[in-house]
Amino acid sequence: MNYSLHLIAAANPIEIVGLALIVLLMLGLVVIALKYGSLWWEGYNCGAQIGLFELVMMGLRQVNQKAIMKAKIKAVQAQLKTERDQLPNTPIDGTFVTTQRLEAHYLAGGSVGNIIEALVRSKNAGISLEFDQAAAIDLAGRDVVEAVQTSVDPKVISCPDPRRSGKEYLSAVAKDGVELKVHAQVTVRTNLEQLIGGATEETIIARVGESIISAIGSATKHSDVLQNPGMITKAVLERGLDSQTAFEIVSIDIAGAVVGENIGSRLQVDQAEADTRVARARAEQRRAEAIAVEQEQKAEVVGNEASLIQAEAEVPRAMAEAFRTGNIETQG
């Protein structure tokens, strides 16, 4: 013990500092190995090509190393393009899944797991989807995995959708005045090229509903629509309703059609009743006018009678005045 203390005391201070640094370095390596060693070894065995120093730097940047490693291992196992597939003197394009891109996407608030899952599904389905495109879709708030799945397996949208509008049928009136209640099913697949900024399902439902109502309204008879529902779907599909939307319309099928009221007949009846009420009002007006004229005539007759009585009352007075003044002589 005394010998050791004597050696330390006799040692050069520079050597002591160097020894301390070596000890600290070894302790740091031990800590790093204990914390990241198993994760690095897992990635190394799977060919993820993420070094131990990279894992340490990810930790300093507050990046989830396990999420990055898991995503990179899945990409390698699915045979997606990674750094190891880069040819000498060639740039890395948007199809490569690199550690740097995964880390950047994570720091931007995206889900690296969803990105890799979408890329794997698109590769298996033969759909062209690059990493940059998938990352943009994910950061735009869209579910990139669902978008790819819908591209592979088209989904069916009800028109109208009872969950959104509370209605089960679209109501339209043919030229013969008969109402038709129609329920349609729209089969769509995701348009990955227009997914960012494209209109959503609500726009598809609104456009299809408007076109169906217009197509029924253009039909001469409601029976024509019932006999050939395809005339509606054909007219609707020709309008290119999926323009500027996140979906591509595969088909439109009329799932149900119910005959409603005869709107034309009801309107005619209502019009006839309205005309009858107008005629009655006019007749009542004419009757009231006639009664008024009659009352005016009666009043005029009464006035004339009063004038006559007044004139008859003046005759004796005039005769008396004539006798008094001698203007009238009596005959003896």
User: Kindly report the CA angle at 218 between 215 and 219, in degrees rounded to 5?
Assistant: 95
Instruction: Report yes or no: 253 and 184 within 8 Å, Cβ to Cβ.
Output: yes
Per-residue pLDDT, 8: 47
Sign of CA dihedral 105, 111, 112, 117: negative
The structure tokens 């038709």 sit at: 180
Query: Which of 185, 186, 258 is closest to 226 using CA atoms?
Result: 258
CATH number of 157-266: 3.30.479.30
Q: What is the CA radius of gyration of the chain?
A: 49
Per-residue pLDDT, 43: 81
Strand duo 170-173 + 247-262: pairing: unpaired
Per-residue pLDDT, 5: 45
Domain ranges across the chain: 12-150, 157-266
Helix (H) or strand (E) holding 79, with range, is none
pLDDT tens, per residue, the chain with 332 residues:
444 444 444 455 666 666 667 766 666 666 666 667 778 788 888 888 888 888 888 888 888 988 998 999 999 998 888 888 777 777 777 788 888 999 999 999 999 999 999 999 998 888 888 899 899 999 988 889 998 988 888 889 888 888 887 888 888 888 888 888 888 889 998 888 888 877 888 888 888 888 888 888 888 888 888 888 888 888 888 888 878 888 888 888 888 888 888 777 777 777 888 888 888 888 888 888 888 888 888 888 888 777 777 777 777 777 777 767 766 655 54
DSSP letters, 3-20, are HHHHHHHHS-HHHHHHHH
In 225-237, which positions are buried (b, 16+ CB within 10 angstroms) versus exposed (e)? Answer: bbeebebbbebbb
Which tokens belong to 289? 């006018």
CA distance 332 to 329: 9
Per-residue pLDDT, 329: 57
Total Cβ atoms within 10 A of residue 190: 24
What SS3 state is found at 221? Answer: coil
Total Cβ atoms within 10 A of residue 23: 10
Instruction: Report yes or no: 165 and 228 within 8 Å, Cβ to Cβ.
Output: no
Distances (CA, A) of 253 to 182, 228, 247: 10, 12, 17
| Helical packing angle, 131-139 and 144-152, nearest 10° | 120
Per-residue pLDDT, 16: 64
